[in-house]
Amino acid sequence: MTPDYHTLLLAIGLSGFCLSVTLFASWMSARVERFLLSWSIGIGCIVPAVAAYSVYFENPDLLLGCFAFLMHFVGFAFIYGAAYRFRTGRSGRRRMVFIFAASSVIVLPWLVAGYDGIGFIALNLVVAVCLVETAREYWRSRDEALIPLTGIVVFYLLTAVSFTLCAAVLIQDGQWVMGRAPDNWAENLNLVMAIIGITGIGAMSLALNQWRVAGSHQRAALTDALTGLLNRRALFERYGGEPVNEHRAAVAFDLDNFKSVNDLYGHAAGDAVLKVFADVLRDTCGTGACIARLGGEEFVVVLDRTLPDRAHRTAEHVRASFAAKLIPVGGRSITCTVSAGIAFGGSHCPSFDALFSSADKALYESKRNGRNCVSLVA
């Protein structure tokens, strides 16, 4: 092994170790983003793989080579698993086990049979496929944080290309049996690209984590913690500065006699009622509506590009669906009702504040009419 080659392997090991520790520390700070833990374990497994390969390069021992290969497979399976968990929020254990098992079955028999050259070709191609799939998972999540995720995807793809070149050179030279580790320009390029990739991915991973943390804080500031709906602040930030036309409706809802639910059954029961009503709003109004909890038992739905008949049908559907719900509370089921008021924009409601005020007035008209009904501002 040349000193330069040894230095490159040492640099990969140190860079990988530092990145693994950094990712683990980032996960430990909150223990929320579990993809960081999977990422840390994956990079951490690459470190002993590189160390074993460094020894194998000078003393090509079969058991040592198999160990280095297996650690590579474990590491890249976890690295893919981190990307999958980042995108879906699921662990992806079955996928990781499949990657490890498939990689081992494809590569190790060649090494054991004495065709180590084919084994290295298969190793490089398997790792390249894992890296491409990892990049694909992050690319599918790019809408969340375009800049850091694009950077991560680029580094993974460039590293995958370097592994592919390693396989291509061995195939071109017909090196099916070598008795040693490969040593050519593609291997040197692969080591350099690995160092660049680890460094770049490390920097982008920190940016990505901060991006997610900032996004989480922003969502928390604009989301009602109990129901998951938008809160008052988010609602008025979205619509407060916009002009209101005659096709935008605001539907104000207020749960009837909600205080008696808390008094009779406790606040936990009241929370359960609020969650059920929030679910009714989501199911009835759909994704095209803006739904918010203003506080307490007050909610509002903003409908764009709608007509009075449609807005009234929507509000009536919400009212009837909620009244029919049996809400389990302390071993029994209770029912609740809701009143609603509808207002439309236009010359009499040129701003969202005016629209909201008109919907509130219509709501109180429903209260005066006996509750559990829908009123529309004329």
Domain residue spans of the chain? 3-221, 232-376
Residue 11 has pLDDT above 50, yes or no: yes
pLDDT of residue 32: 67
Mean pLDDT of the chain: 89
Q: Which residues pair with 298 in a beta bridge?
A: 254, 295
pLDDT of residue 1: 43
> What are the residue ranges of helices labelled H in the chain?
3-30, 34-58, 62-88, 93-112, 116-139, 146-173, 185-222, 232-239, 258-265, 267-285, 308-323, 352-368
Distances (CA, A) of 226 to 153, 257, 268, 275, 292: 36, 20, 11, 7, 12
Query: At a CB cut-off of 8 Å and minimum separation 6, what does 216 contact?
Result: 32
Q: Which fold has domain 3-221?
A: Rhopdopsin 7-helix transmembrane proteins (1.20.1070)
Q: Residue 365: pLDDT band by 50, 70, 90 thresholds? A: very high
- Find the helix or strand (DSSP H, E) in which 328 lies: strand 327-329
Which candidate, 130, 70, 133, places its Cα nearest to that of 101? 70
CATH of domain 232-376: 3.30.70.270
Q: Flag whether the pTM goes above 0.75.
A: no
**pLDDT tens per residue across span 160-214:** 999 999 999 999 999 999 988 898 999 989 988 988 888 888 778 777 777 766 6
For residue 184, count CB atoms less than 10 angstroms from its CB and return exposed for 0-12, middle for 13-18, buried for 19 or more.
middle
